[in-house]
Amino acid sequence: MRKRKYWTAEEKLQALMYVDSAESVTQACRELGIDPSMYYKWKRAYEEKGEEGLQPKYRKKDPELERLKRENERLKKLLAEKTLELELAQEYIKKTLMTRKGRQR
């Protein structure tokens, strides 16, 4: 399997100009090693937004969202621990009361 190539905006623009000047879109795309559907996607993005449309789109993680996710996980663990402690305490109380009732008789 080939390693994925990441294209810069400049490389995409050069590829668009090369394919536009070629006689066959399919042949030019094959020479560049890109799929024709990728060419048309880049072309549409360039026509709609100019060079800004050719910039890579990375998902930026919101630091506040990440902090809230970590806090949520911490609180879930804390809740699970407290629930377990409560169940154990209730079970202990039940056993203690049962043994006391048995002794009183």
> What does pTM read for this prediction?
0.52
Please report the pLDDT score of residue 104 as a whole number.
64
Please report the pLDDT score of residue 1 as a whole number.
56
Please report the pLDDT score of residue 101 as a whole number.
74
pLDDT digits (tens, 9 = 90+) for 11-51: 999 999 999 898 899 999 999 989 999 999 999 999 998 88
- Burial group, residue 46, by CB count within 10 angstroms (0-12, 13-18, 19+): middle
Ordered by start, the domain boundaries in the chain are 9-54, 60-105
